[in-house]
């Protein structure tokens, strides 16, 4: 068993996450999962009004995921009035060429762990006029990489146990241990900031470091409005050191939906979320054997994970927990496991009505058998 070890100062919280990114099936795959034929089209590119305080037109990578373990990603680019676009992994657009506008497409990042930024600009072919450059960022992390454990001082063990019954010291716990914020921090902590000269929005952590919001969806998992962003000067913001993490995980307002796989940025433990419960998958080998994929894992805030009730550990590899969505490789039927039996989800409308995730269907081997239960319709 992995012993949870947390860190008193979030300055020491390092990136080291087990791969996290959201992986979405194509429309064709969704149809096939329920035995339908036919084709489909991509979703329109998102638009964010630049006139809204704190907003920015951004390139959304992997549907807004914070990290990825693969250089192959999907891009959503801002809706543009131009008919051409250029895309590059480099700010100078070296080796980039103008191409027809496309709101969503696949892209390959440059190799090597770290923050990867994609640059996009648009041009009207009739006038030759081009737009400003828009960007999107994501953390590229090697498969299986985990944060090195950090020892919590023994003197805090008893306090930690009293504060958080599962032994985890998170930012909420730290506020009780060392106060609401550092007295020396020049800006209020747990708030979002930007300067008048930039569209970038940062979150100031309890330990007085700043993390960037890489896309609007993550921002709105913490705040309700762009009006919640405070304006400060570049001089004041520059006094706040960059956090080692380099990105914001999903906040407590985010709904990971049924069957999500999640972890926090300060703990390598991966949980399966089912029916309001969290199940700890106890090892990487078990994770792989059960048919889960590292790119399914999403980084979330401790406050979001705390909303789920601990439902024990997943320790067996020859069956899946009740509530799991499964299918066999040679069949289009999707089942939900209920009381040790498999119940057929009869159509896509039922699937969506019940809030299931189409990108979290586990393909199981023919040797993993279950009795038939009543259809879900």
Q: Residue 14 above 70 pLDDT?
A: no
How many Å apart are CA 298 and CA 293, to the nearest integer? 11
pLDDT for residue 151: 33
**Beta strand segments in 95-141, E:** 99-100, 104-108, 114-123, 134-140
What are the tokens at 304? Answer: 């979001």
How many Å apart are CA 106 and CA 174, to the nearest integer? 41
How many Å apart are CA 316 and CA 8, to the nearest integer? 34
Say if residue 315 is exposed, middle or buried (CB neighbours under 10 Å; 0-12, 13-18, 19+): exposed
Other Cβ atoms closer than 10 A to 344: 16
DSSP code, position 4: P
Q: Residue 206 above 80 pLDDT?
A: yes
pLDDT for residue 332: 85
Total-model pTM: 0.53
Mean pLDDT of 82-107: 85
Q: Is the model more confident about 370 or about 25?
A: 370
Q: Find residue 218's DSSP bridge partners.
A: none
Domains of the chain: 43-140 (2.60.40.10), 152-238 (no CATH), 325-372 (no CATH)
Q: pLDDT tens for residues 100-146?
A: 888 888 888 888 777 788 888 888 888 878 777 888 888 787 544 43
Q: pLDDT tens for residues 301-352?
A: 999 999 999 988 998 888 888 888 899 988 888 998 888 898 998 888 888 8
How many Å apart are CA 172 and CA 301, to the nearest integer? 11
What are the tokens at 229? Answer: 């962003």
Structural contact between residues 95 and 88, judged by C-beta atoms closer than 8 angstroms: yes
Q: List CB contacts of 128: < 8 A, sequence separation 6 or more.
A: none
Sheet holding 202-204, edge to edge: 210-212, 202-204, 191-195, 229-232
How many Å apart are CA 344 and CA 337, to the nearest integer? 9
Q: List CB contacts of 66: < 8 A, sequence separation 6 or more.
A: 20, 21, 138, 139, 214, 218, 247, 248, 249, 250, 298, 299
Total count of residues recorded for the chain: 377
Q: Of 339, 330, 331, 335, nearest to 361 (Cα)?
A: 335
């Amino acid at each position: 068993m992995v012993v949870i070890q947390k860190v008193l100062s979030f300055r020491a919280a390092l990136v080291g996450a087990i791969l996290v990114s959201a992986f979405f099936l194509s429309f064709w795959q969704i149809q096939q999962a329920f035995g339908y034929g036919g084709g489909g089209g991509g979703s329109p590119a998102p638009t964010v009004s630049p006139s809204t305080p704190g907003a920015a037109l951004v390139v959304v990578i992997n549907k807004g995921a914070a990290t990825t373990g693969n250089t192959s990603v999907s891009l959503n680019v801002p809706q543009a009035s131009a008919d051409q676009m250029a895309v590059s992994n480099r700010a100078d657009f070296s080796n980039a060429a103008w191409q027809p506008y496309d709101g969503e497409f696949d892209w390959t990042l440059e190799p090597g762990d770290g923050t990867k930024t994609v640059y996009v600009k648009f041009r009207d072919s009739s006038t030759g006029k081009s737009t400003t450059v828009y960007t999107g960022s994501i953390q590229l992390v090697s498969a299986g990489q985990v944060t090195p454990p950090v020892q919590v001082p023994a003197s805090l063990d008893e306090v930690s146990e009293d504060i958080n019954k599962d032994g985890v010291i998170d930012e909420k716990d730290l506020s009780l241990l060392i106060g609401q914020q550092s007295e020396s921090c020049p800006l209020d902590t747990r708030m979002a900031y930007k300067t008048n000269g930039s569209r970038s929005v940062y979150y100031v952590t309890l330990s007085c470091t700043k993390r960037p919001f890489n896309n609007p969806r993550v921002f709105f998992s913490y705040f309700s409005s762009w009006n919640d962003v405070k304006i400060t000067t570049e001089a004041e913001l520059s006094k706040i050191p960059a956090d080692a993490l380099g990105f914001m995980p999903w906040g407590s307002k985010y709904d990971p939906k049924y069957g999500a796989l999640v972890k926090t940025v300060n703990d390598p433990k991966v949980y399966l979320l089912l029916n309001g419960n969290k199940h700890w998958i106890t090892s990487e080998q078990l994770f792989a054997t059960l048919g889960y994929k590292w790119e399914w894992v999403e980084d979330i805030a401790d406050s979001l994970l705390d909303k789920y009730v601990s439902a024990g550990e997943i320790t067996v590899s020859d069956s899946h927990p009740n509530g799991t969505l499964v299918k066999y490789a040679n069949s289009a039927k999707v089942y939900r496991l209920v009381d040790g039996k498999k119940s057929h989800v009869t159509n896509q409308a039922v699937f969506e009505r019940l809030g299931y995730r189409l990108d979290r269907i586990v393909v199981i081997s023919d040797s993993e058998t279950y009795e038939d239960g009543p259809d879900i319709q």
